[in-house]
């Protein structure tokens, strides 16, 4: 899902090599995590994943996320490449909702609706790096952001953290937390907006990659991609990926491509459950995603149009795919959807586990 606002600023990427340091307030930089053959880079602009390098089945190192070469490009970005999005990810109908008897009017940024937290959501702010350890068995980085009461119209004051950790067996965990330190309840739904291409960011489109989504139901949408409120079976529709299938196998049955929320099946009694598996035949790379969230937005980069990315490579439609684990779009206006409202003094936690292998 692409955003429609543009911010102008300039800054050149420079890798920060300090082991365990706090950022100077307002300073934007690039930070690295490395474990074995896996190497990740981030920027604290939007707590964004900039690159993800690992070996393919032949041992060749490739970067499997779309992105840019400079921070100026990230600040002018219209696609949310690699960003952390919130306070409430995805769409909110009419840019408003009611909570505890109060109506809150938000800042629209996609027609009359709100997308990914508004024109200045979490993807477009400077986060503080509170921890950065690029050594040992669990290299990790923690980004923190103080979200004020009334930001983009949302009630409640919260402190948000995003922690990326590299683990053994080619695993990456992303843990997003929020703590309500204010006096008002607030919806919270923070998501990761990385665009994956397991053949390499400069490999062309992802239509030949196979995907399996562990969801027997999805939430249909209207012409503005707002859920209708129904939860329907995927069987007999182009949205059925209960068995592995090529992403492009039925994409022409849709107007532009996939941009839909799945109601994950989950497993009772488990803290996290499998959401999706993606595999690229040429690179042999497989990515398995698990989460504790009830939903998964599957987006095939339909709105990417001639975007100049890393090393000058031009990204086109379907150059990458997003797997955004989340609470359902517009849940703030859909009481029958799973709810994520954080009361004063309470906390929010969203977990993603990525496991990579070659076949």
CB atoms < 10 A from the CB of 187, how many?
22
Task: Using alpha carbons, select from 8, 48, 57, 5 the residue that is nearest to residue 29.
Answer: 48
Nearest to 151 by CA among 108, 126, 121: 121
Catalytic residue IDs: 193, 324
Contact partners, residue 91, CB within 8 Å, separation at least 6: 1, 110, 113, 114, 115, 224, 225, 226, 329, 330
Q: How far apart are CA 210 and CA 204, in angstroms?
A: 15
CA distance 94 to 106: 8
In eight-state DSSP terms, residue 39 is E
Inter-residue contact 273 to 267 (CB < 8 Å): yes
What SS3 state is found at 289? strand
C-beta separation of 327 from 294 below 8 A: yes
Cβ 32 vs Cβ 15: under 8 Å: yes
């Amino acid at each position: 899902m692409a955003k429609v606002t543009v911010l102008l600023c300039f800054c050149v990427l420079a890798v920060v090599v300090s082991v365990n340091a706090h950022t100077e307030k307002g300073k934007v930089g690039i930070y690295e995590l490395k474990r074995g053959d896996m190497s990740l880079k981030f920027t604290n602009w939007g707590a964004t994943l900039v690159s993800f390098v690992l070996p393919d089945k032949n041992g060749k190192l490739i970067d499997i996320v779309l992105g840019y070469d400079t921070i100026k490009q990230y600040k002018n970005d219209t696609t949310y490449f690699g960003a952390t999005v919130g306070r409430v990810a995805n769409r909110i109908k009419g840019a408003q909702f009611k909570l505890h008897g109060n109506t809150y009017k938000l800042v629209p940024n996609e027609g009359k609706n709100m997308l990914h937290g508004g024109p200045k959501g979490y993807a477009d702010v400077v986060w503080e790096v509170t921890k950065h350890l690029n050594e040992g068995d669990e290299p990790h980085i923690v980004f923190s952001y103080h979200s004020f009461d009334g930001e983009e119209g949302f009630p409640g004051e919260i402190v948000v953290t995003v922690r990326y950790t590299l683990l053994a067996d080619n695993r990456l965990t992303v843990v997003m937390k929020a703590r309500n330190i204010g006096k008002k309840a607030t919806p919270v739904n923070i998501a990761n907006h990385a665009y994956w291409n397991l053949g390499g960011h400069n490999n062309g489109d992802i239509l030949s990659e196979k995907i399996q989504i562990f969801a027997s139901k999805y939430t249909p949408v209207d012409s503005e991609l707002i859920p209708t409120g129904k939860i329907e079976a995927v069987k007999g529709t182009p949205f059925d990926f209960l068995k592995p299938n090529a992403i492009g196998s039925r994409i022409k049955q849709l107007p532009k491509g996939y941009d839909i929320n799945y109601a994950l099946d989950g497993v009772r009694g488990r803290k996290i459950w499998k959401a999706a598996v993606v595999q690229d035949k040429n690179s042999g790379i497989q990515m398995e995603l698990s989460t504790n969230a009830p939903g998964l937005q599957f987006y095939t980069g339909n709105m990417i149009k001639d975007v100049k990315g890393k090393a000058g490579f031009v990204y086109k439609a379907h150059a990458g795919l997003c797997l955004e684990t989340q609470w359902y779009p517009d849940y703030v206006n859909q009481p029958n959807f799973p709810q994520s409202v954080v009361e004063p003094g309470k906390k929010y936690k969203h977990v993603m586990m990525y496991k990579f292998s070659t076949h």
